[in-house]
Amino acid sequence: MHKGQLMYEGKAKKLFETNDPNELVVEYKNDLTAFNGQKKAEQQGKGALNNHISSLLFERLSEADIPNHWLKQLSEMEQLVKHTDIIPIEVVIRNVAAGSIAKRLGLEEGLALAFPIIEFYYKDDALGDPLINDDHINLLNLASHDELDEMRELASKVNDVLLELFRACELKLVDFKLEFGKDPSGKLILSDEVSPDTCRLWDVHTNKKLDKDVFRQDLGSVEDSYQEILNRLRGAVAHG
């Protein structure tokens, strides 16, 4: 495999072409951004930690037969993935009230939701990633009805798998964001990353935040928090 031209640079990752048109190299960056890019910082070690965590989680999702783009971890900062056409929808799954839903609906942070809530956001920085519903998705032609149903079903399965894994780590999976893409045959598969940059994870006993809210809210060391997540995940995987 040969790492070729830079194809795309996002806020937290770079994508490179390879000599195989069906595969890409993802390089994780040390950059941290929040509030639609208004708050920025660089954190040594963050890219490698997210690469390790996302690889471990995608491996677990593959074992659970959830179709996804992850192929293998290549190095500290890089992984090999299937080339997909990303659907410009951010799928957010919530188990506990926090962040924007707490603000929007006036819910107390930490309230356990009676059932997992699935939301869709239009992935568009210029618009500030607005919350959208099925009709908006249809109007903007972002995905078909069947694809939307499939995204809901896959998101719910991912939630079940991750809830169980994080429970074994004594972590509360508060909420997380997923992105889906289509492979060359048109099949919908889970893409992007699953990491403390894209999930809220709280210690089950103390509710201590160990995710990107540490950066958003200046709560301490991002590197220590993400390292804690990786250590607990490795412990849980090692013990079955």
Residue 56 as a binder of ligand C5P (CB under 6 A): the answer is: no
Mark the segment that binds ligand C5P (CB under 6 A) among 18-26, 55-63, 137-145, 194-202.
194-202
Q: Cα separation of 178 and 194, whole Å? A: 7
Nearest distance, CB of residue 142 and ligand C5P, angstroms: 16
Residue 228 as a binder of ligand C5P (CB under 6 A): the answer is: no
Query: How many residues line the site for ligand C5P (CB under 6 A)?
Result: 13
Residue 198 as a binder of ligand C5P (CB under 6 A): the answer is: yes
Please spell the DSSP secondary structure of the chain, one letter per residue: --EEEEEEE-SSEEEEEESSTTEEEEEE-SEEEETTTTEEEE-TTHHHHHHHHHHHHHHHHHHTT--BSEEEE-SSSEEEEE--EE-SEEEEEEEE--HHHHHHHTPPTTPEEEEEEEEEEE--GGGT--EE-HHHHHHTT-S-HHHHHHHHHHHHHHHHHHHHHHHHTTEEEEEEEEEEEE-TT--EEEES--STTTEEEEETTT--B-STHHHHTT-S-HHHHHHHHHHHHHHHHHT-
Output the six-digit token pair for 53: 């965590």
Mark the segment that binds ligand C5P (CB under 6 A) among 46-54, 96-104, 182-190, 219-227.
96-104
Applying CB under 6 A, among 175, 180, 227, 229 the residue interacting with ligand C5P is 175
| Nearest CB to ligand C5P, comparing residues 19 and 38 | 38
Judged by CB under 6 A, the chain residues 130 through 159 that form the site for ligand C5P are none
| Nearest CB to ligand C5P, comparing residues 3 and 122 | 122
Applying CB under 6 A, among 50, 212, 214, 222 the residue interacting with ligand C5P is 212
Nearest distance, CB of residue 197 and ligand C5P, angstroms: 6
Applying CB under 6 A, among 69, 200, 209, 232 the residue interacting with ligand C5P is 200
Mark the segment that binds ligand C5P (CB under 6 A) among 144-152, 159-167, 169-177, 228-236.
169-177
Per the listing, tokens 């798998």 go with: 161
Q: Cα separation of 190 and 229, whole Å? A: 22
Applying CB under 6 A, among 15, 100, 138, 168 the residue interacting with ligand C5P is 100
Q: Which residues bind ligand C5P (CB under 6 A)?
A: 90, 92, 99-101, 129, 175-177, 198-200, 212
